[in-house]
Amino acid sequence: MMASEGIFITGSGILNPLGRGHLSTLRSLKNSVRGIRNINLFEVAADQLMPVANIDTPLKIEDGIPRTHALALAAAQDAMEGHRCTPDAIVIGVTTGGMSKSEVLLNSGVKSPKEFAYHGTGTVATYLAKHFSCHGPVFTISTACSSGTVAIKIALELIRQGKANRVLAGGVDALCWFTYFGFLSLQLLDPKGARPLDRDRAGISLGEGAAMFLIERAKNPPPGSVTQVLGGGISCDAYHPTAPHPTGDGALKAMRDAIADAGIDAADIGYVNLHGTATMDNDASEAMALKRLFGDRIPPLSSTKGMTGHSLGAAGAVEFAICSLSVSEGIIPGNIGCMNLDSSLGILPVLKPESRPVKIAMSNSFGFGGNNASVIIGSVDVRPPDRPEAHPRSLQVTGLACLTGAGDMDASFQKFSQGISIAGTLNNEEISKDLSQRYVRRLKRISRMALALATAAHKNAGGGGKPSSIYFGTGWGPLSETYDFLTKLFESDMRFASPTDFINSVHNAPAGQVAMEFKSTGANMTASGGDYSFEQALWISSLLASEKEALLLFGADEMHKELSPLFDPSVALDTTPSDGGGAIMAIATTKPSGPTVTPLVYVMALKDAGWTIMNDLNISDDINAHYGAIFYGIPLAYEEMARNQLTNFLSHSGFRGPVIDYRKYTGQYAASSAVAVVLAIKTIEKGFLSAGLTGTGEVSLGKNGILVMGFGPYCTAIGIHN
């Protein structure tokens, strides 16, 4: 057992409609300030005008960055103020990325990919990493409204499992046309402003914000720390794309897992910050879960979204900051906006702010796709329980699948192993030929790809037990739905848009479809970090999965003729439009046998990349005794940088085996590394590389593995062994 160490909040920054900084936010909480008002960020027709919670604080917008990036930087600068250290890793929850800028460019007909350089959700974390000189792992979580809370849980596990001592984590989202008109199309905006738990509540008030935290491991509370992260729980409803489980099953599991992870009892919780969106279904589902968890001893609770609005990917982080204030300042915020309590819910919120000591608080976040997360915050004098020393797990492969321009896995591997290109695209009918047409009739390209990959991998695993958790990496998410939603919106002069396209446009929608297909109620993660999204999903699975847990890991990206060349600069440079993905059914374990996949390296590009990679590979002897081949991927947009990194690595490592450029065969798209991992596993099962692939003759692998490496803005390595 490890001696108990605390994981403390040593720096924090919050920017929300109640103000910038803790003092301003605390003052607003004490005075029940309602930050919901008419929108002033963009024009809206009078008959479409709904109250929102936008931030009036002036922002420093430089280098053409979108509003989301400016919000994130402001909060992160406040969190890092007074700290001379550099974060070992960064984890950010976000749903819109640079959409606030991209949608304006698209509506103006701009066609230059350079103008969309900050579109991707992953660009927020990368922007912060460059600003704060973080060279370690950078993760972007896009699980709708639970993104910020999930980011904190992942930061906690990075520290617990020895992958970092100091993590900058949080959530951010800015208001934009896309989300405003999306929720308007769903008729989920309350014209009177959010009224959580009110009997007449009629929906949410959209908000925006950012909250960032410097989280550090220490035996004793570091100077300046006022709270600590005690635990977190993550679950999935696997029930409906948008509606929560009617009896709160998923919410209950997330809360129970968080309490168990923190090593406390439910009775220890002194305050619950509700997800409390003020929709009929969400408030009822959460109330049901709370009653099942606490019985007749429900602690003081409130939703603060009647003050802050619902800031989507930022909401969990903003409410984590409010819980931290509750613990450090002894305040229970009021459930502002509720005028006529809905007695049918059976819970009694704190309606006006109260001063009372709070030693431990819980924050809930429940998002589209049934993605649920809860985190536990404690005062610095709470002693965390001793816990076994934890290590990231490898994935023991039980099933495989991939989709490429050549077809399914067998067709793709047959061509690849002969050194023949598998670039290109399949049509939607080919992708979903083995799926129920009734089920997929409303789904567009990437969700069909996700279901096809998942069902094929499950079948390849023997079709037995289904995965309890789902981990998904996508560089750009559902582009077809995004394009169709915006096109209809622009063509109607901001009057009409498809609610179905909006629902299915969220990055986590494909993983949500897979969870519903398999009834997977464990973690449901979507990582979206450009060319490194699949690698991020793999890393996160190795951190979150429990020993012997069955899971599905997959990556996919779709080719969209209009958006892909604008958003992905490597696609713009390729002559063959391509897309696809790869999927792995696996058992998470620290004692693998058979084919295994292990995340090894994830660092920001450095001049001496070879030395850094070799250091993280932790190989003390000859690399040729461990690996028989390298599959590497180079995004065309970063070709010169990446080839220099590869040359530097080969020089430092002394590797002498075949070195295969997998993007030469798959084509250029973000999730091509997922395909490469599947092809590497198949190659290891075969035992040798053919002459068509090596160009020099057949090469036996013996008992050696294959390194699947990525180069460019980040350097990554995944170990494949048998």
CA–CA separation, 55 and 52 (whole Å): 10
Prediction pTM value: 0.97
Catalytic residue status for 145: yes
CA–CA separation, 201 and 91 (whole Å): 34
The backbone region for 278, taken as left when phi is positive above 0, alpha when psi lies in -120 to 50, beta otherwise, is left
Mean pLDDT to the nearest integer, 659-663: 98
Whether pLDDT at 1 is above 50: no
Q: What is the pLDDT of residue 680?
A: 98
Nearest to 623, CA basis, from 581, 593, 657, 667: 657
Catalytic residue status for 715: no
pLDDT tens, 294-338? Answer: 999 999 999 999 999 999 999 999 999 999 999 999 999 999 999
CA–CA separation, 688 and 690 (whole Å): 6
Mean pLDDT to the nearest integer, 503-522: 96
Catalytic residue among 69, 119, 145, 236: 145
Q: What is the pLDDT of residue 2?
A: 53
Catalytic residue among 135, 275, 560, 721: 275
Mean pLDDT to the nearest integer, 348-364: 98
Catalytic residue among 310, 458, 507, 721: 310
Q: What is the pLDDT of residue 442?
A: 85
Alpha-helix residue ranges (DSSP H) falling in 618-716: 639-653, 663-666, 672-686, 691-694
Class of residue 107 by CB neighbours under 10 A (exposed 0-12, middle 13-18, buried 19+): middle
pLDDT tens, 391-445? Answer: 779 999 999 999 999 999 999 999 999 999 999 999 999 999 999 888 888 899 9
Q: What is the pLDDT of residue 697?
A: 93
Class of residue 437 by CB neighbours under 10 A (exposed 0-12, middle 13-18, buried 19+): exposed
Q: What is the pLDDT of residue 96?
A: 95
Residues with Cβ within 8 Å of residue 714, at least 6 apart in sequence: 138, 531, 532, 602, 603, 604, 605
Catalytic residue status for 275: yes
More confident residue, 394 or 62: 394
Mean pLDDT to the nearest integer, 108-127: 96
Reported confidence tier of residue 3, pLDDT bands at 50, 70, 90? low
Summary mean pLDDT of the chain: 95
